Amino acid sequence: MASVQYQTESGAKVFGMLAEFANPHTLSEGAKKVRDAGYRKWDTHAPFPVHEMEESMGIVGKAIAPMMFVIGCAAICGAGGGYLMQYLINVDYSIIVQGKPTYQAWEPFIPVTFELGILFTAFGSLLSMLAFNGLPRHHHPLFNSDNFLRCTDDAFFISIEAADGKFDPDQTRRLLEEAGATNVELVEDPEGNA
Give 66-100 pLDDT, tens digit per residue: 888 999 999 999 999 999 998 888 888 877 777 77
Q: Is the pLDDT of residue 153 over 50?
A: yes
**Which residues, 6+ apart, have CB-to-CB distance to 177 below 8 Å?**
19, 184
- Provide the percentage of residues in the chain whose pLDDT is more than 70: 95
- Number of neighbouring beta carbons within 10 Å of residue 93: 9
**Is pLDDT above 70 for 192?**
no
Q: What's the pLDDT score for residue 108?
A: 83
Dihedral sign (CA 24, 29, 35, 37): negative
pTM as predicted: 0.72
Q: Is the pLDDT of residue 193 over 50?
A: no
- 100 forms beta bridges with 97
Other C-beta atoms closer than 10 Å to the C-beta of 95 total: 11
Hey, what amino acid is at 149? L
DSSP 34: H
CA distances from 185 to 75, 78, 144, 145 (A): 45, 48, 12, 9
Distance, in Å, from the CA atom of 46 to the CA atom of 87, rounded to the nearest integer, reads 52
Structural domains in the chain plus CATH codes: 13-58+139-189 (3.30.70), 64-132 (no CATH)
Q: What is the mean pLDDT of residues 154-177?
A: 94
